[in-house]
Amino acid sequence: MMCMLSCKKGFLEITDNSNLNRQSYVKNLNTMEEFQRGIYMKLSESYGNYLPTVYPDLIADNLKPSSSSIPLTIQYDWSQIAQNEGDGSTSMNSVWTNLYGIIRSCDFIIENIDRYSDENQEKAKNIKGQALAIRALMHLTLTNIFAQTYGFTTDASHPGIPYITTSDISQPYRRQTIAEVYKNMISDLENAISLMQAGIGDCRQMNGVAAKALLARVYLYKGDYINAKKFGIEVANQVPLMSIGAGYPLDFFKNKPSAQTEILWQLMPVTNDYAVSQPLGILFDVDYCHIANDLVNVLIENANDIRSSWVINESGQWRVRKFPLNVAGGIGIQPSADYYVPILRSSEVFLTVAEACAKTNEEVNARAYLNAIRKRADPSIPDITTSGQALLDLIYKERRKEFCFEGFRMWDLQRLKQGVHRTDVLSGYNATLPYPSDKAIAPIPIPDVKLMGLTQNPSY
């Protein structure tokens, strides 16, 4: 059970209520809202932490460990081990535990919020909608890490993960098929969108626009390009790209009014007696990971592209500079962790729409959305005119560039049924992971396999 955290003044200004369980603490709509703010703190601490974000880039081809002596080299080498306990040094157990903890807390809200709806129906609906959308995102992340992608089998009948919809930890659960998991995620997001207001409001809270963008992502990963396009266009029409003049790319790491940013939802850094968030920027500050040379080449191939500044060569070693220092007002644990973590932004839906249009023979529209992303980064670059597979390749290249170090790379390779082919690999480690491969996904934690009878992933 997640600790109960409540708020006083600021969005995440908390006081410790960890000695209280949720049933005894939540007595009305206001205390339920405070409980939900505790979920946001847990998200900042766990989901905004570097591990879920660095993992997809590290096990793919964007990053490599700086040496063989640091953690995550086993994940990098696709040599994970099923564990009973542990902090994730040889598995992803900690992510499994943390994200399911958040899911259980969302379940508690969904189960109980209606009893307080008479106090303020709109607020109650909004709280419930946020919980539904967050629950869907946590399950999507767990699915990406612990299960093969939707297209792994023709009917998506292969094992997914447990889709847990009860806060009662005594209830049994099972691994559902990927088809079932996606059906549940889509249902949660559709319900969330129907409950929340159409606008964004505070970018630090899940909202209707962010839920719609997440639904577009789910449909894209499913290969349902018609619906990915539909929901992506709705979001793109509502939230335009942030221009360089408006502060792109630095300012999407800040908390700004929704009308001044392309951020749909972000997590704030948290440092206090009860929680510490350590986002990905902190790893690059301590030289934990190095950027792969082929990604460097993608980023610096056009010196006029503002994203070329995301890497810098220092004494012959390329260092990541995408994440700014000291832009959250000193909230973070240190300067390299003092930024708001983007979770959903309009750049993603633009590239989702570009890919979905290309896949549905709407290449004029595909080029328009792709050109919008490219010309935002370099206004002098000419429009592209390619078509067919060359157009798709440019879209995939742009996704790799725009979302590097934001937790997308491995999931893109897997859903496109592409293996990992590293041209720059840490000495002594594997360079190639073919598709499909059992080692593309992490082992299920042993306690869940033994106690709940969950089927372990093959080769573990």
Residues in the chain, total: 460
Q: Give the pLDDT score at 273.
A: 77
Residue 460 in domain: no
Asked if 254 and 328 count as a contact pair (C-beta separation under 8 A), the reply is yes
The structure's pTM equals 0.95
Beta-strand ranges (E) seen in 278-380 are 289-291, 311-314, 317-320, 341-345
Low-confidence ranges of the chain (pLDDT < 70): 1-21, 86-88
> What DSSP element (H or E) covers 140?
helix 121-146
Q: Give the pLDDT score at 272.
A: 84
**What does DSSP assign to residue 424?**
S
Residue 95 in domain: yes
Q: Give the pLDDT score at 274.
A: 75
Q: Give the pLDDT score at 186.
A: 99
Residue 447's CATH number: 1.25.40.390
Q: Is 262 exposed, middle or buried (0-12, 13-18, 19+ CB in 10 A)?
A: buried
CB atoms within 10 A of CB 363: 18
What domain count does the chain have?
Answer: 1
Q: What is the pLDDT of residues 232-280, one digit of tens each?
A: 999 999 999 999 999 999 999 999 999 999 999 999 999 987 789 999 9
- For helices 363-377 and 346-359, what crossing angle results, to 10°? 150
Residue 55 in domain: yes
Residue 458 in domain: no
- What's the domain range around 211? 5-60+70-281+292-452
Q: What is the pLDDT of residues 329-360, one digit of tens each?
A: 999 999 999 999 999 999 999 999 999 999 99
Distances 239 to 343, 344, 346, 370 between C-alpha atoms, Å: 15, 12, 6, 16
Residue 149 in domain: yes
Q: How far apart are CA 162 and CA 176, in angstroms?
A: 6
**3-state class (DSSP) for residue 303:** coil
Q: How far apart are CA 332 and CA 268, in angstroms?
A: 8
